[in-house]
Structure 1
Amino acid sequence: MEKEKLKKIIIENQQFINDLQIVDREISIEYAANYVFTGPRRAGKTYLMYQVAKDLVAKSILTPEQILFIGFEDERLMELKAKELDE
């Protein structure tokens, strides 16, 4: 997979998160910690991640450019091989 194609997907996702209108849920999360969100499909795991990303930007902890989100369900990534992520 071409690096430019992957960069384009990352930039599109950064813009998508920035523009996304979501209902804020009351959550208490330590931003310096690492988390693994698990649960059934369509339970809100991705939207929780979007909310955390938007909160980090709103609180000037991160800039939108520092948020990296790749949805591996994106059809444009079907040809991507795991070893290519190391390149």
Structure 2
Amino acid sequence: MAQIETEQPRWRQVYAVISGRIRSGEIEVGERVPSLVDLTAEFGIANATAQKVVRQLRADGLIRTEPGIGSKVADREYWESETA
């Protein structure tokens, strides 16, 4: 389980880790991002918290969700600023 310890809300901490993986290229454009089940297992968070992370990643343009397929990293042209 990934360890993250700051005074930010858990969803923000997980968001920072996943968005960092996307922005660094660790998770490449077009590649699937961790599922809700994967996020809850890796970070020890509730499903609702994982959903909030995914919603924010989508709102910032970092991922695109396709029904029946899942969420994948969006093309860089859709990404919001680096300070999201």
More relative contact order, 1 or 2 (CA 8 Å, 6+ apart) = 1
Give the TM-score normalised by the residue count of structure 1. 0.31
Q: Which has the larger radius of gyration?
A: 1
